[in-house]
Amino acid sequence: MYVKQWEGDTVPARWRSIATRQAILCYQDSDTMLTRQRYYAFFPIFVPEINKKDMAIALGKFNILTVAKAVDFGMYLDGGEEGLILLPARYVPEGCEVGDALNVFLYLDNEERLVATTQQPLAQVGDFACLRVAWVNQYGAFLDWGLMKDLFVPFREQRERMEVGKRYVVHVHLDDESYRIVASAKVERYLSTDELPPFHPGDEVNILVWKRTDLGYKVIVDNRYGGLLFENQVFRPLQVGDRLQAYIKQVRPDGKIDLTLQREGRGKVKDFSKELLEYIRQHQGHIPLTDKSPAEDIYATFGVSKKTFKQAVGDLYKRRLVLLEPDGIRLL
């Protein structure tokens, strides 16, 4: 809710000159009052003060709100203390009526008004994501996150100057000063270090690859913790922005997490044995691979190391499910 409301379409004289923390620009107009429209054009980083503690809705996240009013250009949703929130007509589900409850994403539009959408953004507040730069200007970069209004990354939140068309891993959050939804490429700042990660060896987790290092790949674990995939644990091509499943190898006393892409121990072999058996069945009961095949061919087919492949073949052979032939493996 805006703490200060202005009458008509004017901005108080005290806002005619403003020096921001970034000292982007200063505008004077002694003869006429600035309209809000002109003001936002000259000062795009300014937002009227918002009391975050009093907000009953979650900005930058999905909220379940009730349709309170239908108009020609959309639906107004009941935002509680925030008042009515517009859901533009293009996002209104077919058959929607007053009284219906909708799951909508809330953000500020280009005029800093609270607005709703049923679109699915590529990230929400609190998320890490790999997003493409749509355009840049003198204030920073703007990322395509699946909504009409692009996501802003100030220059101070960039590790390097972002370039149009390139993809970067960022953290999405609410700016403490402007209360806008913004992103930062300084990922380490937003990784949790307050507590020891609650994982045990062998636990399955979701990871986002965010940086290549001499040791391997830095990753974000379960959208919260920092982790590392060592080079000798990676048997497939990886790119920054890849999302995949991994397994906890160990959690060090300092909270750092080591991971592997394959389950450790007997469980790994048992899982792949099932996959291999099903693969042979789906390929007319025969595959042209053996334990003598190049590791590259095995990885290209199954995405596992040659060691894991040989162990799984041995497991199926002992159970008399396959026959080993010079030119491949045949189903019995």
Per-residue pLDDT tens over the stretch 60-73: 999 999 999 999 99
Per-residue pLDDT tens over the stretch 92-139: 999 999 999 999 999 998 888 899 999 999 999 999 999 999 999 999
pTM over 0.85, yes/no: no
Are residues 60 and 113 both part of a single domain?
yes
Dihedral, 15, 17, 19, 25 alpha carbons, nearest 10: 120
| Residue 32 maps to a domain | no
Residue 318 and residue 314: Cα distance in Å, rounded? 6
Are residues 133 and 171 both part of a single domain?
yes
Cβ atoms 103, 63 nearer than 8 A: yes
| Residue 19 maps to a domain | no
Check pLDDT > 90 for residue 187: yes
Segment holding 301, helix H or strand E: helix 295-302
Q: What integer is the mean pLDDT of 293-320? A: 86
- The average confidence (pLDDT) of the chain is 82
Are residues 109 and 135 both part of a single domain?
no
| Residue 295 maps to a domain | yes
pLDDT of the residue at 213: 93
| Residue 20 maps to a domain | no
Residue 197 and residue 193: Cα distance in Å, rounded? 9
Q: Which CATH number characterizes residue 241's domain? A: 2.40.50.140
> Measured on CA atoms in the order 300, 302, 308, 310, is the torsion positive or negative?
negative
Which of 25-29, 124-128, 269-273 shows the lowest per-residue confidence on average (mean pLDDT)?
25-29
Q: What integer is the mean pLDDT of 36-53? A: 37
State the residue range of the domain holding 288. 266-331
pLDDT of the residue at 153: 98
| Residue 194 maps to a domain | no
Check pLDDT > 80 for residue 83: yes
Name the token pair of 178. Answer: 């402007």
SS3 (DSSP) at 277 = helix
| Residue 57 maps to a domain | yes
pLDDT of the residue at 138: 96
Total domains, the chain: 4
Q: What integer is the mean pLDDT of 149-168? A: 97
Q: Which CATH number characterizes residue 313's domain? A: 1.10.10.10
Are residues 272 and 327 both part of a single domain?
yes
DSSP secondary structure letters along 21-85: TT-------SSSPPBHHHHHHH-TT----B-GGG-SS-TTSEEEEEEEEEETTEEEEE-GGG-EE
| Residue 34 maps to a domain | no
pLDDT band at 268, cuts 50/70/90? low
